[in-house]
Chain A
């Protein structure tokens, strides 16, 4: 995209503001530090540790939903937790994305047969990326974030295409 050329010989680049914002957004996906269960250790702790180090992708931990762009739902959501998940999602500022990490958050996982467990967090909040695994390796979470970046990038183009069609 145009902004990449900034590092080259061009000193001035022209870009649509929304493209610029989306570029910034997808390279600073701050996630809400919200570990529910086992996946939290892999998805939130190992990833902020030295080996996987998501900081280099601009993926960084925030403690408050009001400062977060992405919610990683890392663990089983049960009926008591579902309300809180929804509340936290509503507290996050737009634009916001949700990563359902692991089998439990995606479908209920190994606990899906228990009547108290919600069958996937997509029953409570809209989910953008599902990361499979029980728990997913940190590399999988990384790939999930790359997919999310792709999605954000695509969203800009889709919005522009939709506007063109309207004209």
Chain B
């Protein structure tokens, strides 16, 4: 089920200049990253009742890192996607105060896309050891078949 775009616009009007649109994914809201936490808490507190952060992940679009927050409302059985774009090597501000489920996914996203995590209780690396490149960036190659053949 898709939430009503005009209602979403009204909810977010007090917080930020949000671009609300519909794509193949569903209703997608694009906000500046600085307003991400405020937008999420507005959506959570509104009548729409987006009480759960289902997922948080990054995408390397080629020019910047796009962070997607997927929210779900159980009361109305609706989902909404909040997206914000960050330049490479920028600071990812934590939203764990709004949704505690962001704790580990944020660490993972920051680490694998080479972002700095701010406002997080434990911003240490989660998956890899020190010195490993941000592996999910498109510019980081995987091993070629020739490399792995010789081991």
Contact = CB atoms under 8 A, between A and B. Distances in A.
Direct contact of A and B (CB under 8 A): yes
A119 B149 CA distance: 10
Contacts of A112: 143, 148
Interface of B: 127-129, 132-133, 135, 140, 142-145, 148, 151
Contact of B135 (A80, A108, A115, A120): A115
Contacts, number: 32
Interface in A92-124: 107-108, 112-116, 119-120
Contacts of B132: 79, 115-116
A113 B128 contact: no
B151 A115 contact: no
29 contacts: A79-B129, A79-B132, A80-B127, A80-B128, A80-B129, A107-B148, A107-B151, A108-B148, A108-B151, A112-B148, A113-B142, A113-B143, A113-B144, A113-B145, A113-B148, A114-B135, A114-B142, A114-B143, A115-B132, A115-B133, A115-B135, A115-B140, A115-B142, A115-B143, A116-B128, A116-B132, A119-B148, A119-B151, A120-B151
Interface of A: 79-80, 107-108, 112-116, 119-120
Nearest to B141: A115
Contacts of B129: 79-80
A37 B107 CA distance: 22
Contacts of B140: 115
A113 B133 CA distance: 15
Nearest to A120: B151
A107 B149 CA distance: 9
The 10 closest A-B pairs by CB, nearest first: A112-B148, A113-B142, A113-B143, A119-B151, A80-B129, A79-B129, A116-B128, A113-B148, A115-B143, A114-B142
Contacts of A115: 132-133, 135, 140, 142-143
A119 B142 CA distance: 13
A112 to B, nearest CB: 4
A86 B148 CA distance: 22
Contacts of A120: 151
A79 B132 CA distance: 9
Contacts of A116: 128, 132, 135
